[in-house]
A and B are shown apart, each in its own frame.
Chain A
Amino acid sequence: MAKDSSKNIPIGHTPKSSFHPVTIVLDMCQGAGRSLLDLADSIGRLGLFTGKVLAACVTPPLYLKHILRQFMNIGFYSLAVVGMTALFSGMVLALQSYTGFSRFNAEGAVASVVVLSITRELAPVLAGLMVAGRIGASIAAEIGTMRVTEQIDALTTLSVNPIKYLVVPRVMAGVIMMPILVLIADIIGVMGGYLVGVHVLGFSASGYITQTWDFVEPIDVISGLVKAGVFGFIVTLLGCYNGYNSGRGAQGVGAATTNAVVSASILILIFNYFLTQAFFS
């Protein structure tokens, strides 16, 4: 039988693990306050880091060889992942919009829905999320490992600014290569819709292309490319920031990698809303 320990507590003494409603509310307030302070601290640190990176982007020296290498890493090597994502997204979109629109006898709108959805939303957002998974994680892990093994400190002792050497090339490559990736994704995604439209749903090839071309406007493509540039900045900046401020050991690097991907993905979705509102509302 369990012993009643409350009998041993002196009168007037409040045990630490009290379930008194006031204590619970105070604990909750304390937790919320701490989270709020931590959030403010993180935003402040990220703001300072961003300022340093932007300043470093416009002051010499720029490590051109490193920037070109990052063009390859972020742009060329992401092409397959982004291309596959765009192709199958375009194909699924054509199928889904056909089955949906056929209820309203609006099957003819499939081509226009595919091209507008791909250029305005799907290509930049999906490419951003895929690159956040592929590149954001890899940047955070690489720079985090360099932090843990003191390679970043070594750069400083060798008179090299780590922000310029490690961060600027990645951020520049992200901002420049993401729009190019998304432009390619636009073409592949529309092609995916075309393949399903013509070979599965029975549209005529010329009719599908004409409808696509008639509906798409420059702003549809341009808005997607601007979004891509912003998403490229977010992914690479957060990858670098989390890696640069990585905690010690394997656990620290693991946490930095997770944070880089999660925070970049969430910010991509948030910024996507505001950019869409800015362009189209």
Chain B
Amino acid sequence: MSGDTAKIVMKDVHKSFGSKHVLNGIDLTVERGTSMVIIGGSGTGKSVALKCILGLIHADSGSILVDGVETMGMSDRERNAMMGKFGMLFQGGALFDSLPVWHNVAFGLIHGQGMSLKQARDIAVDKLKSVGLGSQVANLFPAELSGGMQKRVSLARAIATEPEIIFFDEPTTGLDPIMADVINNLIVECVKNLGATALTITHDMASVRKIADHVSMIYEGKMIWTGGVDRLDDSGNPYVDQFIHGRAQGPITKHAHMA
């Protein structure tokens, strides 16, 4: 997986926090219009990898290409312009609690694209409808919503600007299985409708099987396996096998005990 069809390419990306090496030479390619899911245990560097692509964390070394353009060492202005391509659903929603729901959804349109309030509000209500929330929710504040509804609002915000690339950071964490499935369906639908490239990080295997075209497993800051979702069950990789079956016994536990 590489070449002109690649939307995101990470090559030998390293990131350390003090003496702790979180990314130890990550290599990842996400093809245009496909859905890549990164799996891996807690603290293996999934979120850091994702934030390095967005520039929220600066990688120490390596190369990160978006649409073939090197993003390492980009100026703030260039990066700000590039951000228009991205939408992101944060793990905790990250909704602005001082703003009503509609303004949260329309935020990127108003402040990022300079759209008028009325037009942005109409689009926000449409986007809320597309994630199954009625217009009566638009004037509520995030604190008045349940966890599932907050995720939907966050999803609506992520797709409001119709981005080319959407990141999902553990989209089903903290949700009941039914609501998790609803969110998974919405993600698949939204990504398909937009024709966007999606990059998701999750532990939730049901989510992986529903969302992913390709899966990559991260372990100790490196990608140790990448393949199609249909190959997940016969990957031949003992780390992947252990992780997807949620076994306590296996190379991951052994190593963790030794560390």
Q: Do A and B come together as binding partners?
A: yes
CB within 8 Å of B: which residues of A?
Answer: 149-151, 153-154, 156-161, 165
Closest 8 CB pairs of A and B: A159-B112, A154-B94, A158-B108, A150-B94, A157-B88, A159-B83, A160-B111, A150-B90
CB <8 Å contact, A160 and B94: no
Question: Is B76 located at the chain interface by the 8 A CB criterion?
Answer: yes
Residues of B within 8 A of A150 (CB): 90-92, 94
CB <8 Å contact, A149 and B94: yes
Known interface pairs A151-B95, A157-B83; 5 further A-B residue pairs with C-beta atoms within 8 A, sorted by A's residue number: A157-B54, A157-B88, A158-B108, A159-B84, A159-B112
Encoded as 1 (CB less than 8 Å from any A CB) or 0, chain B from 101 to 119 comes to 0000001100111000000
Nearest to B96 among chain A residues (CB) is: A151
CB <8 Å contact, B111 and A165: yes
CA distance A154 to B111 in the complex (A): 13
- Among residues 158 to 210 in chain B, which have CB atoms less than 8 Å away from a CB atom of chain A? 161
CB <8 Å contact, A158 and B107: yes
Encoded as 1 (CB less than 8 Å from any A CB) or 0, chain B from 147 to 166 comes to 00000000001000100000
CA distance A149 to B94 in the complex (A): 6
CA distance A157 to B83 in the complex (A): 6
Residues of B within 8 A of A157 (CB): 54, 56, 83, 86-88
Residues of B within 8 A of A161 (CB): 76, 80
Residues of B within 8 A of A165 (CB): 111
Residues of B within 8 A of A153 (CB): 51, 54, 56, 88, 90, 94
Nearest to B90 among chain A residues (CB) is: A150
CB <8 Å contact, B111 and A159: yes
14 examples of A-B residue contacts, CB within 8 angstroms: A150-B90, A151-B96, A151-B97, A153-B54, A153-B88, A154-B95, A156-B54, A157-B56, A157-B86, A158-B107, A158-B108, A158-B111, A159-B84, A159-B108
Of the candidates A149, A150, A160, the one having the most CB atoms from chain B within 10 angstroms of its own CB is A150
CB <8 Å contact, B91 and A159: no
CB <8 Å contact, A149 and B108: no
CA distance A149 to B96 in the complex (A): 9
Residues of A within 8 A of B55 (CB): 156
CB <8 Å contact, A158 and B94: no
- Among residues 50 to 64 in chain B, which have CB atoms less than 8 Å away from a CB atom of chain A? 51, 54-56
Contacts A150-B90, A151-B96 given: A160-B112 contact, CB under 8 Å?
yes
Residues of B within 8 A of A151 (CB): 94-97
CA distance A160 to B81 in the complex (A): 10
CA distance A156 to B107 in the complex (A): 11
CB distance from A94 to the nearest CB of B (A): 43
Contacts A159-B80, A160-B107 given: A154-B112 contact, CB under 8 Å?
no
Nearest to A164 among chain B residues (CB) is: B111
CA distance A159 to B112 in the complex (A): 5
CA distance A158 to B161 in the complex (A): 9
CB <8 Å contact, A154 and B96: yes
Residues of A within 8 A of B161 (CB): 158
CB distance from A231 to the nearest CB of B (A): 26
Residues of B within 8 A of A149 (CB): 92, 94
Nearest to B57 among chain A residues (CB) is: A153
Residues of A within 8 A of B54 (CB): 153, 156-157
Residues of A within 8 A of B86 (CB): 157
Contacts A149-B92, A151-B94 given: A158-B56 contact, CB under 8 Å?
no
CB <8 Å contact, A158 and B92: no
Nearest to B82 among chain A residues (CB) is: A159
Residues of A within 8 A of B84 (CB): 159
Encoded as 1 (CB less than 8 Å from any A CB) or 0, chain B from 208 to 230 comes to 00000000000000000000000
